[in-house]
Amino acid sequence: MCVTDHDLVFKALADGTRRLMLDALHEQGGQSLGALEEIVAGHTDMSRFGVSKHLKVLEAADLVIVRKQGRQKLHYLNPVPIRVLYDRWIDKYTEPQVRALTVLKQKAENHHE
Amino acid sequence: MCVTDHDLVFKALADGTRRLMLDALHEQGGQSLGALEEIVAGHTDMSRFGVSKHLKVLEAADLVIVRKQGRQKLHYLNPVPIRVLYDRWIDKYTEPQVRALTVLKQKAENHHE
DNA sequence: TTGACATGTGACCAATTGGTCACCTATTGT
DNA sequence: ACAATAGGTGACCAATTGGTCACATGTCAA
């Protein structure tokens, strides 16, 4: 929940396979490791262990939360970190284009350098 | 400009040093390699070549655009890829919550529960 | 209990990445 | 032309990451 979590989230998102898994969990939550393995196998060929490792990265970044049910481990997408990422970082780059132009204009009006 | 550029952008953003450089260019555009080197050196100790390499990654992702002026190479932040990233990917994960909040707000406004 | 199923763990290898260095090119000022 | 400045290139090493495997754990059902 601290600031450096940004790094975990960014790094977790930096892999196409992991984004694919997030997409799958976005479409339908509560999928087990086996189910995710099948989905991933449809796009790339990766063993169960590879999928499991990627999931662990996503869990560490708090992008995926887990509920154990019997011998299954059900995965759910947690959109909060992405939301935080957007609010604290991405918004800064996407929103203030207009504002930046305003500042530039003011600067130009004050000291014509 | 194609879809797989997402990967380049995500990977470029997955490094704290590179995000630091984007911040620096966000604060003030048109900085040279030397200037960026000094800024980065203030946080981590990295040689000019390291900074140059990171800049090349950012350029490949089209996050930084370059204008040559004499023997200097001036760098500018290009917010477009981040914007695209947000529109095509992040929005999908963050938007429904906003809608949910809006719905909640409306409910609260209607029947003060 | 016994076996089949769903997943976890630690060792291990290959591929990628982060970073530095010794050289090189191009531009500026004198 | 010359030296100083700003930056680029390819080789190279260390650290990290992606992926697999043999094995272990825990759970359900008969």
Nearest CB among A16, A86, A97 relative to B7 is that of A16
Q: Which residue has the tokens 């000291």?
A: A111
Q: Is A92 on the interface with B (CB under 8 A)?
A: yes
Could you tell me the fold of the domain covering B6-112?
Arc Repressor Mutant, subunit A (1.10.10)
pLDDT in tens, B22-69: 999 999 999 999 999 999 988 888 999 999 999 999 999 999 999 998
Rounded to two decimals, the pTM is 0.81
How many angstroms separate the CA atoms of A22 and B35, rounded?
39
Contact A86, B90 (CB under 8 A): yes
B112 — pLDDT class (breaks 50, 70, 90): very low
In this model, does residue A10 exceed pLDDT 90? yes
**Residue spans per domain, chain B:** 6-112
Distance CA A87, CA A109 (A): 31
For residue A97, which residues of chain B lie inside 8 Å, CB to CB?
Answer: 79
- Average the pLDDT over B3-24 and give the result: 89
Q: CA-to-CA distance for B58 and B69, rounded, in angstroms?
A: 19
3-state helix, strand, coil in chain B (%, to 5): 65, 10, 20
